[in-house]
Amino acid sequence: MNEFAEALRTAITNRGLGLERLREHLSQHGVTVSLATLSYWQTGRSRPERKKSLQAVVHLEHILCLQPGQLSELLGPPRSRGRWLRKAPAPMSSFWPSPSHVERALHDLDTQWDDQLIRVSQQDFVTIGADHTERSFRSRQVLSASMNGPDRWVVIMHIDEHDRPLPQLNALKNCRLGQQVRDEAQGFLVAELVFERPLRKGESVVIEHELVNQAPCPLATNYERKFRLPTREYVCEVTFEGSPPASVVQLADGSAVEPGRTLLDVALDVQPGIRGFRWTW
């Protein structure tokens, strides 16, 4: 029995729910899952992979009184089929201004494992100060290895105002700082977050890091997350410590968003591109 199946079976037992009752709870949340599918999931005969199935897992975590991500983090990499059979991904520098500067910075870092890390979950938490400057950024990644050996995650960060100091990078959970390349003139920071040990094929890791800006902090007018490879789940929360912005646009589709003290973007099955928000004060 795989880790996901074992965790699901244990949670169902601890909650004291039969599969029929569990199916009814899911139905009340607008999610339809057959009894056979639930049985297959808890015995390891199959696993959730499609978008609706992954949404069902999110609801299962709530119904079974589990922490968010407690089940989804155990799913591991998706099977290679359908839209996951992709052509070679774009270079790591492709989404950034002045790609040549990023390429030169990446030349000194070990990026060989980036394509072998399945993006299970990406969670970003951004804090904007009352003076409209970007204070800090905290990120949580759930990664799964598609082969033996991945041992690091590469962070690329850019600020638009090149006269401001680059932020301090801190490793928070299950990783340590490796090599860093700081290009103050171009506003780039590139760094390695090295795992506690190399991953085995199918093994997952949860890492966290933060970026803390130094005074004078850059003016905050947007937040972008660039996706070079598909990502199963994305959560972005932007918190404004002072008054909210006057107008907000979601970058994924250009739609207007109601301004508030907190902006939230939650998405599943995210394809390569850019998500986040742009705002005016």
Please indicate, yes or no, if residue 61 is contained in any of the structural domains. yes
The predicted structure's pLDDT at residue 275: 93
Q: Which one is predicted more confidently, 30 or 271?
A: 271
Do both 190 and 250 map to the same domain? yes
Of 74, 91, 124, the last residue of a domain is 74
Do both 135 and 271 map to the same domain? yes
175-226: per-residue pLDDT in tens?
999 988 887 777 788 899 999 999 998 999 999 999 998 888 888 999 999 8
Do both 54 and 175 map to the same domain? no
Of 59, 74, 89, the last residue of a domain is 74
Do both 254 and 159 map to the same domain? yes
Please indicate, yes or no, if residue 180 is contained in any of the structural domains. yes
Please indicate, yes or no, if residue 231 is contained in any of the structural domains. yes
Do both 58 and 170 map to the same domain? no
What Å distances lie between residue 11 and 52, 120, 213, 239, CA to CA? 21, 21, 41, 33
Do both 38 and 169 map to the same domain? no
Cβ atoms within 10 Å of 129's Cβ, excluding its own: 15
The amino acid occupying position 67 is Q
Do both 138 and 212 map to the same domain? yes
Cβ atoms within 10 Å of 250's Cβ, excluding its own: 16
Please indicate, yes or no, if residue 241 is contained in any of the structural domains. yes
- We report the CATH number of the domain holding residue 16 as 1.10.260
Please indicate, yes or no, if residue 88 is contained in any of the structural domains. no
**Strand positions, DSSP E, the chain:** 117-128, 134-145, 152-158, 168-173, 175-183, 188-195, 204-212, 222-227, 231-240, 247-250, 256-257, 262-270, 273-280
Do both 25 and 133 map to the same domain? no
Judge whether 41 and 75 are in contact, CB under 8 Å.
Answer: no
Percent of the chain predicted with pLDDT > 70: 88
Do both 246 and 109 map to the same domain? yes
Judge whether 129 and 135 are in contact, CB under 8 Å.
Answer: yes
Please indicate, yes or no, if residue 210 is contained in any of the structural domains. yes
The parent domain of residue 30 ranges over 3-74
What is residue 208's three-state secondary structure? strand
Do both 50 and 159 map to the same domain? no
Do both 7 and 117 map to the same domain? no
Total count of domains within the chain:
2
- We report the CATH number of the domain holding residue 183 as 2.60.40.3140
Taken in order 205, 120, 26, 5, is the CA torsion positive or negative?
A: negative
What is residue 260's three-state secondary structure? coil
The predicted structure's pLDDT at residue 5: 85
Please indicate, yes or no, if residue 130 is contained in any of the structural domains. yes
75-106: per-residue pLDDT in tens?
765 554 444 344 455 565 555 655 666 677 67
The predicted structure's pLDDT at residue 78: 54
Give the strand order in the sheet containing 256-257.
222-227, 273-280, 247-250, 256-257
How far is it, in rounded angstroms, from Cα 212 to Cα 194? 19
Instruction: Give me the phi and psi of 219, to 5 degrees please.
Output: -65, 135
- How many residues in the chain? 281
Do both 244 and 128 map to the same domain? yes
Judge whether 247 and 222 are in contact, CB under 8 Å.
Answer: no
Of the candidates 236, 277, 280, 275, the residue with the CA atom closest to the CA atom of residue 95: 275
Please indicate, yes or no, if residue 114 is contained in any of the structural domains. yes
